Amino acid sequence: MKEDIKLAKWLAGEMDEKELKEFESLPEFDTYRKIAEYSAQLQAPETDTDRLYNAITEKREAPKTKVVKLHQPWLVRIAAVLIIALCLTFVLYTNNTTTQIAQAGEKTEFLLPDKSAVVLNSGSEAEFKSWNWNKKRSIDLKGEAYFRVAKGKTFDVNTPLGKVTVVGTQFNVKARDNRFDVTCFEGKVKVTYKSQEVFLTPGESITFEDGEEITIPETQAAQPGWMNNEVTFVSEKPENIIKEIERHYAVKIELDKNVSLSPENVFTGTLPMNELDTTLAFFTDKYHLKAKKTGKGTVILSVE
Amino acid sequence: MKNNSISNICEELIFSNFFKTHVKTLKNYLYYKFGNEERAEDVTQEAFIKLWENCANVPPEKAKSFIYTVANNASLNHIAHQKVVLEYAKRHNGPTSSSESPEFIMEEDQFKVKLQKAIAGLSEAQRTAFLMHRIDGKKYYEIAEILGISVKAVEKRIHGALLELRKEIENFR
């Protein structure tokens, strides 16, 4: 038996016979016996239960309403983290922007969430948010693209130069440097340029360059020419045509120092764009130049 | 085990039954602790009042531990302990008293006085455990539950109390 609880065991009558005999033979046993006996005769002051109860009933206030304790506070923390994660995911998802690019020498075709079709011409880029597309159809365009828009709510094409708004139609938008060209092939198109608003019907085109409007003859075509590699230019500056050729064929065109191409010397006509040599032939013929390929993806134009 | 969620301490009947069952033990414990009856009663009242006010949040099975927790925490901000002097029950028990000699009786009375004083000199821990066992007749496990300690700890206190008492009484000789 552990020494430090021996007496307690005795007092509770938990000693076995042998231990008890041993204990009782000790000289101090008598004192312990008397302590146990007389201490049991002591009493605590009386308790007047009823009086105390009444006192309590008088003093106590109404019970407080139930506190719903979350016995597992860590559940709350997990829920909070999940909610934040969900919110972030939602924000990221709704702000998720799709970007389509057509590099130089490429054309890129893609569908929008409502099955509207877009074809990007070389060196163009389009950006749009797919979330909530059916409520708000808005696409940002840099460069040139042909649109075949499914019927639905208004469809906006935003370019650095101006804006085109349609409701289910087919049209072409070209926004390059300072020239903004829109051609309507089907349906009705509203073009906003600075503070001007113009409506186009099938076959009609509108062109703004440096703030000036250029008259474009009506077209009978069902699609823009570039989609068939036949590009029609109307009063187009030669430098723009050079850029178009560069984008289309993914080549670099350099001008010899003797070459001076006046912007007033505009080009109106159709350039075949299925072969670089053919295109260059047409171009150099008009501007009295000759073209030489360097073999490193560069063409040098010099005076004839 | 039947789920007693409907009957909780907020019902007057349940509360008063609980009160009657536990009030004496609580008050005695507090008296052994403080040595002051008035203070013991005040703290007892406070414990039951707090139980009533929080009855919506204390399930019946936690009520006992609740009142002792309140009582022990109420005691903390508190005035100096007073000496706990208990009285002997008026009625002498046993036939021994009549057959003994006057000298014996006087010696016994002296012993009993020494015992009273020695008890008052015990530490609070030993005193409360010892008296709960001797006067209230609480078993060690009951004392352990009330004081919120282990049975072993109770036994150590009881053992220590007996040892101390013997030493004190023998020193008085």
pLDDT at B79: 59
Tell me whether strands A155-158 and A162-166 are parallel, antiparallel or unpaired. antiparallel
Give the whole-angstrom CA distance, residue B40 versus residue B35: 8
The Cα of B130 is separated from the nearest Cα of chain A by a number of Å equal to: 9
Give the whole-angstrom CA distance, residue A184 versus residue A166: 10
Please report which confidence band the pLDDT of residue B2 belongs to, taking 50, 70 and 90 as the band edges: very low
Same domain, A253 and A216: no
Q: Do A5 and B159 touch (CB under 8 A)?
A: yes
Range B40-44 average pLDDT: 92
Task: Specify the higher pLDDT residue, B149 or B77.
Answer: B149
Provide the residue range defining the domain that includes B36.
12-74
Cα A248 to its chain centre, rounded Å, is 30
Give the whole-angstrom CA distance, residue A277 versus residue A271: 11
Q: Do B52 and A43 touch (CB under 8 A)?
A: no
Number of domains chain A contains: 3
pLDDT at B91: 57
B17-28 tens-digit pLDDT: 999 999 999 999
Q: Do A38 and B133 touch (CB under 8 A)?
A: no
Same domain, A122 and A243: no
Beta-bridge partner residues of A208? A180, A213
Locate the chain A residue with the closest alpha carbon to B128.
A44
Same domain, A108 and A197: yes
The Cα of B53 is separated from the nearest Cα of chain A by a number of Å equal to: 4
Phi/psi at B49 (5° precision): -65, -45
Longest dimension (CA), chain A: 139
Tokens of B46: 């406070």
Give the whole-angstrom CA distance, residue A47 versus residue B19: 12
DSSP state, residue B55: G
Q: Do A44 and B45 touch (CB under 8 A)?
A: no
Same domain, A199 and A270: no
CATH number at residue B37: 1.10.1740
Same domain, A147 and A235: no
A chain contacts of residue B134, beta-carbon cutoff 8 Å: 36, 39-40, 42
Please report which confidence band the pLDDT of residue B1 belongs to, taking 50, 70 and 90 as the band edges: very low
Residue for token digits 């208004």?
Answer: A154
Write down which residue in A198, A228, A258 finishes a domain: A228
Task: Specify the higher pLDDT residue, A295 or A115.
Answer: A115
Same domain, A304 and A224: no
User: Considering CB atoms only, which of B23, B54, B133 is closest to A47?
Assistant: B23
Same domain, A105 and A224: yes
Locate the chain B residue with the closest alpha carbon to A67.
B57
Assigned domain for B141 exists: yes
Same domain, B56 and B111: no
Q: Nearest-5° angle of CA A213, CA A199, CA A149? A: 115
Give the whole-angstrom CA distance, residue B134 versus residue A38: 9
Helix crossing, B151-172 with B102-120: angle to 10°?
Answer: 130
CATH number at residue A137: 2.60.120.1440
A209-242 tens-digit pLDDT: 988 888 888 888 888 989 988 898 988 999 999 9
Same domain, A276 and A215: no
Assigned domain for A296 exists: yes
Q: Do A5 and B136 touch (CB under 8 A)?
A: no
Beta-bridge partner residues of A108? A120
Q: Do B57 and A43 touch (CB under 8 A)?
A: no
Same domain, A222 and A238: no
DSSP state, residue A5: G
Of A36-45, A58-67, B33-42, B95-104, the least confident: B95-104
Assigned domain for B50 exists: yes
Long-range contacts at A117-122 (CB < 8 A, ≥ 24 apart): A117/A147, A117/A148, A118/A145, A118/A146, A118/A147, A118/A148, A119/A145, A119/A146, A119/A227, A120/A144, A120/A145, A121/A145, A121/A146, A121/A174, A121/A226, A121/A247, A121/A248, A122/A247, A122/A248, A122/A250
Same domain, A34 and A126: no
Assigned domain for B90 exists: no
Give the whole-angstrom CA distance, residue A57 versus residue A60: 6
**A183 near A160, Cβ under 8 Å?**
no
Give the whole-angstrom CA distance, residue A208 versus residue A199: 14
Same domain, B102 and B165: yes
Q: Nearest-5° angle of CA A131, CA A135, CA A136? A: 75
Whether the predicted pLDDT of B104 surpasses 50: yes
Assigned domain for A145 exists: yes
Number of domains chain B contains: 2
pTM of the model: 0.50
Assigned domain for A54 exists: no
Q: What ipTM does the predicted assembly reach?
A: 0.84
Assigned domain for B91 exists: no
Q: Do B133 and A55 touch (CB under 8 A)?
A: no
Locate the chain B residue with the closest alpha carbon to A47.
B24
Tokens of A155: 């469809």
The Cα of B47 is separated from the nearest Cα of chain A by a number of Å equal to: 10
3-state DSSP assignment of residue A172: strand
Assigned domain for A88 exists: no
User: Considering CB atoms only, which of A9, A34, A56 is closest to B49?
Assistant: A56
3-state DSSP assignment of residue A61: coil
Tokens of A21: 């005999």
Q: Nearest-5° angle of CA B68, CA B71, CA B74? A: 150
**B67 near B26, Cβ under 8 Å?**
yes
Assigned domain for A268 exists: yes
Same domain, A222 and A233: no
Give the whole-angstrom CA distance, residue A107 versus residue A226: 10
Tokens of A65: 């309403």
B45-100 tens-digit pLDDT: 999 999 998 888 888 888 998 999 888 887 655 555 667 778 887 655 554 556 67
Assigned domain for A253 exists: yes
User: Which of B62, B151, B155 would best serve as a mutation to test chain A binding (most A beta carbons within 10 A)?
Assistant: B155
Range B7-34 average pLDDT: 90
The pLDDT > 70 percentage for chain B reads 84
User: Which of A41, A50, A59 would best serve as a mutation to test chain B binding (most B beta carbons within 10 A)?
Assistant: A41
Whether the predicted pLDDT of A62 surpasses 90: no
Range A259-265 average pLDDT: 87
B121-132 tens-digit pLDDT: 899 999 999 999
Residue for token digits 């021994």?
Answer: B96
CATH number at residue B131: 1.10.10.10
User: Considering CB atoms only, which of A12, A38, A59 is closest to B49?
Assistant: A59
DSSP state, residue A131: T
Same domain, B57 and B119: no
Torsion of CA B103, B105, B106, B111, to 10 degrees: 130
3-state DSSP assignment of residue B37: helix
> Chain-wide mean pLDDT for chain B?
84
The pLDDT > 90 percentage for chain A reads 50
Q: Do A45 and B31 touch (CB under 8 A)?
A: yes
Tell me whether strands A97-102 and A124-129 are parallel, antiparallel or unpaired. antiparallel
User: Considering CB atoms only, which of B37, B88, B139 is closest to A41?
Assistant: B88
Same domain, B65 and B29: yes
Task: Specify the higher pLDDT residue, B10 or A144.
Answer: A144
Give the whole-angstrom CA distance, residue B11 versus residue A191: 78
Same domain, B113 and B67: no
Assigned domain for B5 exists: no
Q: Nearest-5° angle of CA A226, CA A228, CA A232? A: 40
**C-alpha atoms less than 13 angstroms from C-alpha of B142 in its C-beta half-sphere:** 15
Same domain, B54 and B102: no
R_g over Cα of chain B: 19
Same domain, A101 and A224: yes
A180-206 tens-digit pLDDT: 999 999 988 999 988 888 999 999 999
Q: Nearest-5° angle of CA B114, CA B118, CA B122? A: 175
Whether the predicted pLDDT of B3 surpasses 60: no
A chain contacts of residue B31, beta-carbon cutoff 8 Å: 44-45
If one counts every other C-beta atom within 10 angstroms of the C-beta of residue A288, the result is 9
Same domain, B143 and B109: yes
Provide the residue range defining the domain that includes A237.
229-304
**C-alpha atoms less than 13 angstroms from C-alpha of B55 in its C-beta half-sphere:** 22
Locate the chain A residue with the closest alpha carbon to B169.
A31
Same domain, B160 and B118: yes
